[in-house]
Amino acid sequence: MLAVRDLKVHYGKIEALKGVSLDIEDGEFVTIIGSNGAGKTTLMMSLSGVVKPSSGTVQFQGARIDKLPTYEILRRGLAHVPQGRMLFPDMTVLENLNLGALRATDDKSLGERLKEVYNYFPILAKREKQKAGTLSGGEQQMLTIARALMVTPKLLMLDEPSSGLAPIVVEELSQILTRFNKGGITLLLVEQNARLALELADTAYIMENGNMSQREKSSSLLNSDQVKKAYLGI
């Protein structure tokens, strides 16, 4: 579904990505773990078109997307849930969700999309007329993910979705992500909570200093002494 080859990104003279390559198969659940500053967020932003790569290629479902604008990448079915939520706080839950459907290209009605989203996040149906800025942190994160679902993505990328959330909310989100994947959505998860990420995903990449240093089955990395020491605090 996604093929990234030798992707490089510069911020001025600083090379943030140094030739990153990765592959994601249709239906797969992939995670990228790494320390702060490794380049994970830059990679996500370059895949969704927010940051333009200096060189390299990104193919999504067989077609190059690395030179396309963000809205066109979204129209093709690659949705990005950014770090920091970035909701419209003075708009209602429903208004935020409606914005998510603006770039949808399939035949589903707005009502059908809302029904699917509320099935995953029933609390949002109860908060439909409430302003997004008045929601709890967990509810805001749910709304951010739900807004991305409104476009009916084929690949959903999530950047640090558990950040700042209570453990009980993290557990709920984990279950929802698993449901997404079982429902046919391909997932790419960047997560500082390495244990959580490895427990959820099928395949994991380790990112270090702008490079992909390792690709393994998540279960193998969970049992790696090196990974336990570096990322799991064991």
More confident residue, 84 or 89: 89
Block residue for tokens 């699917």: 116
Mean pLDDT of the region 49-77: 96
Per-residue b/e over 56-92, b at no fewer than 16 CB within 10 Å?
bebebeeeebbebeeeebbebbbbbbbbebebeeeeb
In this predicted model, what pLDDT tens digit does every residue of 20-33 receive, in sequence order?
999 999 999 999 99
In this predicted model, what pLDDT tens digit does every residue of 1-17 receive, in sequence order?
999 999 999 999 999 99
Q: Please count the structural domains in the chain.
A: 1
Position 233 pLDDT exceeds 80 = no
C-alpha atoms less than 13 angstroms from C-alpha of 79 in its C-beta half-sphere: 24
The CA R_g of the chain, rounded to the nearest whole Å, is 17
Token digits of residue 61: 């479902």
**Considering only CA atoms, which of 31, 47, 122, 113 is closest in space to residue 79?**
47
In this predicted structure, what is the pLDDT of residue 104?
81
Token digits of residue 77: 């079915």
CATH code at position 124 = 3.40.50.300
Cβ proximity of 146 and 120 under 8 Å: yes
Give the domain range for residue 116: 2-231
Cβ proximity of 186 and 156 under 8 Å: yes
Q: Sorting pLDDT into bands at 50, 70 and 90, what band is 230?
A: confident
Cβ proximity of 159 and 82 under 8 Å: yes
In this predicted model, what pLDDT tens digit does every residue of 167-194 receive, in sequence order?
999 999 999 999 999 999 999 999 888 9
Token digits of residue 166: 């209570």
Q: Are strands 55-60 and 2-11 parallel, antiparallel or unpaired?
A: antiparallel
Cβ proximity of 219 and 32 under 8 Å: no
Cβ proximity of 162 and 191 under 8 Å: yes
Percent of the chain exceeding pLDDT 70 equals 99
**β-pair partners for 11:** 14
Position 234 pLDDT exceeds 80 = no
111: helix, strand or coil? helix
In this predicted structure, what is the pLDDT of residue 196?
93
In this predicted structure, what is the pLDDT of residue 84?
83
